[in-house]
Amino acid sequence: MSKDGVKKVVLAYSGGLDTSIIVKWLQDEYQCEVVTFTADIGQGEEVEPARAKAEAAGIKEIYIEDLREEFVRDFVFPMFRANAIYEGEYLLGTSIARPLIAKRLVEIARETGADAISHGATGKGNDQVRFELGAYALMPDVKIIAPWREWDLLSREKLMRYAEEH
């Protein structure tokens, strides 16, 4: 029986440790189908290995999309025009990408009939807020699963142990 009625979830998936653990955790905890979405916003060669990792985890629907042009045109250029620099020296590349990723998560959820979206943002920064407010703005009734607020895997050691056990 699926948890909270969730049958299918779209996960913002990097292929790294956290989101790879989240795939299995969603399958175990929510007993649902997981769709992965990896956004290429210019990070280069990191993107394609995510496909192999998702396939190895048994994922049937894998989205890897080149969003570089949209990212630069609709997010980076406006950010530069607004002189959006944090504390006078840090560019906001990662944070400004979150609304675009949230937009595609919502679109893919609609395309695939998913009940929920999920992300691997920890509670350390504002990424949870960026993902979630972006998603809620586009789909107010979307169910968002934020594993870092639900699970007890709050250290690298616990994540590694979970990976070894599952």
pLDDT digits (tens, 9 = 90+) for 49-97: 999 999 999 999 999 999 999 999 999 888 888 887 777 777 777 788 8
- Who wins on pLDDT, 127 or 6? 6
What the block records as the tokens of 16 is 């790294």
Work out the average pLDDT over 121-126: 76
pTM of the prediction? 0.90
Q: What's the confidence (pLDDT) of residue 150?
A: 82
Fold for the domain defined by 3-67+100-160? Rossmann fold (3.40.50)
Is residue 151 packed enough to be buried (19+ CB in 10 Å), middle (13-18) or exposed (0-12)? middle
Rg (CA), the chain: 16
Q: How far apart are CA 162 and CA 166, in angstroms?
A: 6
* pLDDT band, residue 23 (cuts 50/70/90): very high
Phi, psi of 45 (to 5 degrees): -70, -5
Domain boundaries, the chain: 3-67+100-160
Q: Which H or E run includes 48? A: helix 47-56
Confidence of residue 133 (pLDDT cuts 50, 70, 90): very high
Confidence of residue 132 (pLDDT cuts 50, 70, 90): very high
Tokens of 93: 């590349």
